[in-house]
Amino acid sequence: MQPDKLVQYIVNWLKAYADESRMNGFIVGISGGIDSALVSTLCAQTGFPVLGVDMPIHQAPDQINLAEKHLDHLTQEYENVDREYIDLTSTFDEMTKAFPTVDSDSDRSLALANTRARLRMTTLYYFAGLHRYLVTGTGNKIEDFGIGFFTKYGDGGVDLSPIGDLMKSEVYALAAHLNIDKAIRDAEPTDGLWGDNRSDEDQIGASYTELEWAMRQFESGKSVQDFSGRELEVFELFLRRHQINRHKWRPVPVCGIPEKIK
């Protein structure tokens, strides 16, 4: 990796996209995690206006603290960065009161976790509409095109994806190169959708290092017959999630009607 060249390439890509779209700047949801910290920093380096939005919903205090710390740094370092703090907890609670109960607590918990992500997406597009900003995605390659570890029309509802072709290890390398706060770089990755400190690894069943390995094996044409033990377990996990979540990154299917029956 050539970090200086990679940073400049992404920054130039962001600037060109904003110019072509005739939009005024970028908006990024700030979670306290490494992906949003990197994306917001790259956006800040474009010189375009950037709005970082912290949107807690029953958030663990350490996640809020990391998000606020990163926004403190960005607004001090870059004159083109502004911030918003929108506590969506009460809004989320009112929504859940209106939803009917279901038999499965686990299904309800997952549905509500995804509802949090979609509520945040709605909030970002509210501000994007006010300022003519681009809602900027924070998903990396493993999440967005490997195992589909994001909420459809939630954190997956964005206008552009500057780090969607970067593996998680490359995200960490760029974050270190840009001197993003060590506490953010050292924090265990979490999607922050459950109101507790469960990590991404807790939810997925494998670390990002393992998933990155599995994705590279998959891209090289390997199959389950090539592995055993933990490697086989991780590879099968990757394949299963890649298969069931492909609908998240594929275009919405359209039923094409033959002209003769219209």
The count of domains in the chain is: 1
**Buried residues in 27-57 as b, exposed as e (16+ CB within 10 A):** bbbbbbbbbbbbbbbbbbbbebbbbbbbbbb
213 domain residue, yes or no: no
212 domain residue, yes or no: no
214 within 8 A of 232, measured Cβ to Cβ: no
pTM exceeding 0.85: yes
Could you list the residue range(s) of the whole structural domain that residue 28 is in? 3-202
Please give the structure tokens belonging to residue 21: 């779209």
Q: Write the pLDDT tens digit of every residue in 177-206.
A: 999 999 999 988 887 787 677 888 889 999
177 domain residue, yes or no: yes
160 domain residue, yes or no: yes
49 domain residue, yes or no: yes
237 domain residue, yes or no: no
254 domain residue, yes or no: no
| Confidence at residue 49, expressed as pLDDT on a 0 to 100 scale | 98
Q: Write the pLDDT tens digit of every residue in 66-109.
A: 999 999 999 999 999 999 999 999 999 999 999 988 877 878 88
26 domain residue, yes or no: yes
Domain CATH number, residue 74: 3.40.50.620
DSSP states of 121-163 = HHHHHHHHHHHTEEEBP---HIIIIIS--S-TTTTT--SB-TT
